[in-house]
Structure 1
Amino acid sequence: MPTGDTIVAMASAPGWSARAIVRLSGPAVGTVLAQVCGVEPSPGLKVARVRLAPSQSLPVLAIVYRGPRSYTGEDAAELLLPGNPYLVERVISTMLRLEGVRSATPGEFTARAYLNGKRSLDEAEGVAATIAAVSDEQLRAARDVLSGAAGVRYRAWTEEVATLLALVEAGIDFTDQEDVVAISKEALGARAGKVAAAIEARLGGREGVEAARSLPRVVLAGAPNAGKSTLFNALLGRERAVVSPIAGTTRDAIEEELDLSRDLPGAGKVMLVDLAGLDEEAAGGASGVIGAMAQDAAAGAIASADAVLHCDPAGRFPVLATRGVVIRVRTKADQPGEDAIGQAVPVCALDGWNLGVLRRAIAESASAATGSAEVIPRHARALREAALRLREACAAEAELAASSLRQALDALGEVTGRISPDDVIGRIFATFCIGK
């Protein structure tokens, strides 16, 4: 991305507010402030007026920073003005008319901070993760990265893998040198395995704290006409799934985000999934093929779910094949039914009775399913690759071990920034908002 221009963007949330922030960074900040606001580019807080037209001006507060003592490491400024979207647009348009000034691209302010040595690559990602966090787990993961604590761990692992690679390659390349002693296969396995175990423990068995596009999946399972779709709609607070007394109405899985923070602060969101009813006889009749496909899809969704709401109005719950947490739900609790074996949550989706209790149970189960891992998604993918390659190196001969260690080092380099291909850097900063 070009860095010689002066960039400008709105840095606060869009819409109406008491105050809005317009951010600038680049070599022409002083010129922009002088021409638009009539203020000197010396550092500090200044009261100014933005000239919008010959007879129109807008009072603003200008905070001026001189590089390198700024967020981006460049000359920078922030204008605080009334949070009227029209006025904000007028101010930005006025600045864009000046030579050398352009609109910032998503994440460009933080990208410049990285390029100017003000932020490491992992800390820059922490900024984006903090903005995108929708739960306590995601916020902790973001803070871990933003504070630099994650980077310390990653760099320690990287140094150890680099040392192991050097020892293995020395044994391969300098076998004729008496003073060069190659690392033994046992020692390599122990040290590489220790790093792999540390990475796996940090991942906690999941691929990081996922953003909204990869939320914990909570599926509704049960026999046909068990009240799943009615409960699905009640949890969402709107009519999303078709409800009918005819068994088998739901064939395809229906997915919707469910925000649970109202019932358990910090819980965030889950992906709620309404499935076809579980029916061993669904494959019979003229629609046997379609019914069988629906049953297979439902079984697969249950098996891979993070949590399952097992619904039955009679309180009978056969065992389900799933890796997730199972919450037994006695639907249609306004009607007579048998006592459930074990603990079940009785609800009435028609009038909302006890739905709050169920929502809290879902939130707690989703939190348990995500575990305690505090790793943002891109880091998790790279760390999982590194752990896999380290496990390979543990049992491999020298040449193959060296290849696996190099791959592990490359994977770790993606999160430490020491190995940072342009496409990786571009992908990171493209996830930012404008003005960040």
Structure 2
Amino acid sequence: MKTRTEIFDTIAAISTPPGEGGIGIVRLSGEDSFRIVDSIFKPLKKLPPASERESFKMYLGYIVKNGKILDEVLVTYMKKPHTYTREDVVEINCHGGAVAVQEVLRAVLEKGARLAEPGEFTKRAFINGRIDLAQAEAVLDIVRAKTSKALQTAVNQLSGKLSCKVREITSRLKDLVVRLEAAIDFAEEEDVPEVELDKISKELREIKSSLEKLIESYDEGRLYRNGVLTTIVGKPNVGKSSLLNSFLKFERAIVTPIPGTTRDVIEEQINLKGIPFILADTAGITETADPIEKEGIKRSRSYLEKSQLTIFILDGSEKLDERDIEIASRIKNQSHIVVINKVDLPLKIDEKDIKSILGLDSAFVKISAKTGEGLKHLEEKMVEMVQSGKAMGDNQILVTNARHYAILKRAKDEIENAINSVNENKEAELISFDVRSAMDTLGEITGEITNADILNEIFSQFCIGK
């Protein structure tokens, strides 16, 4: 548990990624930010006193330590409460590169700032009421967004769309609680209306429906946030690595005519219509005495078990063999696409044989990884498989966070308990208890109901400086 001093002292961190770049930024937040920077910043023109200084204006000058210039910088002073953290904030724009920003950060820390913990700037924005907990989590999703769709979803959440919907539902629940508890507390009063259970039941069912829509959106939302683990499997030398290279449009995996070239799983990511697919090129599944190849096959099977979408590659220029049939039996209950490769060669494979194992409704795509024929159709089929024909509108609220999903499910269960209590004509106190429980549960999404452990878990996932 942090002390009050630790929560409200002045923090500092580098807010730009490591490595060479045009700019490196050292950020400070806290009541001593201006004083600390003023003690090491020598502007080219004299600065007005901090109280009269223009906020969000850049000042050119030098960071000086022990009479030595560390870097030429641009300094921006930002006065509370109109800042990211709602505290006084200063950003020092240094030249990019590891040494300059590290030296400037060291000078700041020596003057009394504390090195920020991961996510501490955003945590202060939450603690100081600038954003709620769902919005704070959206900041991390924006940083980690892999596609434009993932970014759009995260920006929607940061703008408060999910929070507004949750608060709308919470407000309706609160109104129900007030009506139920008024009937309990003032049962003897003549001017207090009786609880109309039919109306209560109707409103609870409407609220349950709203929660169900949010819960159902998670299947789509998590695709944009986390990506789809897509495992490319098949026996050796059917073109798995060639397909990976075709997807990526560069030679990522080594391709040779020798079976067993791929010994380990290779992961890469592609973006198809806003959905991130994490492609896993696996070792060919076969019987072998080679201990290294055995380990690669073991890893292939491990990936296959956790795969969300499987691309099963067959060599179209050969007839099915026992290895193909063994792999087919493993994937028949998984979401899969059967890819018949090498259509640039005379086809010998019989689709009927594979359909007899996998079923008539399996998706089949014919391609040539060598020439690129059929690749576009395969990409379209992959999107269709995971999207099930759904398209995300610009303003649609999608639940992308597993924490939010679990909370919504708990709240829905509590609403169902309340509906059952109403249907069974139970006491108003019991109905009110379930409704209030749902209301408090939903408060965990926005952080109105939370604890230190949850906050620490969430903000520890952030980078230092955000």
Normalising by the smaller structure, the TM-score range is 0.7 to 0.9
1:375 aligns with 2:399: yes
1:25-424 → structure 2 map (5 Å cutoff) = 25-39=29-43, 40=47, 41=50, 42-43=53-54, 44-99=57-112, 101-169=113-181, 179-184=192-197, 186-206=198-218, 209-210=221-222, 214-220=226-232, 227=238, 229-230=240-241, 234=245, 238-239=252-253, 257-261=267-271, 264=272, 266-270=274-278, 272=280, 301=305, 306-314=308-316, 322=333, 324=335, 326-337=336-347, 344-349=364-369, 354-355=374-375, 358-359=378-379, 361-363=381-383, 365-368=385-388, 372=392, 374-377=398-401, 378-396=403-421, 397=424, 398=426, 401-424=431-454
- Is the Cα contact below 8 Å between 1:305 and 1:322 reproduced in 2? no
Change beyond 3 A, Cα 1:124–1:370: farther
Name whichever of 315-324 and 77-86 sits farther off: 315-324
Q: CA RMSD in A?
A: 4.1
TM-score with structure 2 setting the length: 0.73
Change beyond 3 A, Cα 1:3–1:299: closer
Change beyond 3 A, Cα 1:4–1:16: same
Deviation at 1:355, TM superposition (A): 4.3
Deviation at 1:19, TM superposition (A): 1.1
Deviation at 1:171, TM superposition (A): 5.3
Change beyond 3 A, Cα 1:419–1:21: same
Counterpart-to-counterpart distance in 1, 2:375 and 2:87: 53
Q: Deviations over 1:308-364 (max 9, x none)?
A: 43433459999975574x434112324322585897432344676654653454345
Change beyond 3 A, Cα 1:346–1:23: same
Counterpart-to-counterpart distance in 2, 1:206 and 1:73: 32
Q: Deviations over 1:151-170 (max 9, x none)?
A: 21110011112223344455
Q: Deviations over 1:220-250 (max 9, x none)?
A: 467x56937556754575459999869xx99
AA in 2 matched with 1:37: F
Counterpart-to-counterpart distance in 1, 2:99 and 2:388: 45
Partner of 2:461 in structure 1? 431
- Is the Cα contact below 8 Å between 2:13 and 2:465 reproduced in 1? yes
Deviation at 1:7, TM superposition (A): 1.0
Counterpart-to-counterpart distance in 2, 1:180 and 1:173: 12
3-state SS, counterpart of residue 22 of structure 2: strand
Number of aligned residues: 409
Change beyond 3 A, Cα 1:407–1:48: same
AA in 2 matched with 1:333: V
Deviation at 1:426, TM superposition (A): 2.4
Change beyond 3 A, Cα 1:388–1:255: farther
- Is the Cα contact below 8 Å between 1:275 and 1:298 reproduced in 2? no
Counterpart-to-counterpart distance in 2, 1:135 and 1:220: 22
Change beyond 3 A, Cα 1:242–1:379: farther
Counterpart-to-counterpart distance in 2, 1:371 and 1:256: 30
3-state SS, counterpart of residue 312 of structure 1: strand
- Is the Cα contact below 8 Å between 2:9 and 2:114 reproduced in 1? yes
Deviation at 1:413, TM superposition (A): 0.4
Structure 2: any 5+ residue segments left out of the alignment?
A: 288-297, 353-360
Change beyond 3 A, Cα 1:221–1:172: farther
- Is the Cα contact below 8 Å between 1:306 and 1:369 reproduced in 2? no
1:24 aligns with 2:28: yes
- Is the Cα contact below 8 Å between 1:209 and 1:370 reproduced in 2? no
Deviation at 1:61, TM superposition (A): 0.6
Percent of paired sites with the same residue: 25
3-state SS, counterpart of residue 200 of structure 1: helix
Deviation at 1:419, TM superposition (A): 1.3
- Is the Cα contact below 8 Å between 2:228 and 2:276 reproduced in 1? no
- Is the Cα contact below 8 Å between 1:229 and 1:241 reproduced in 2? no
Deviation at 1:5, TM superposition (A): 1.5
Partner of 2:357 in structure 1? none
Change beyond 3 A, Cα 1:219–1:228: farther
Name whichever of 367-376 and 420-429 sits farther off: 367-376
Name whichever of 346-355 and 371-380 sits farther off: 346-355
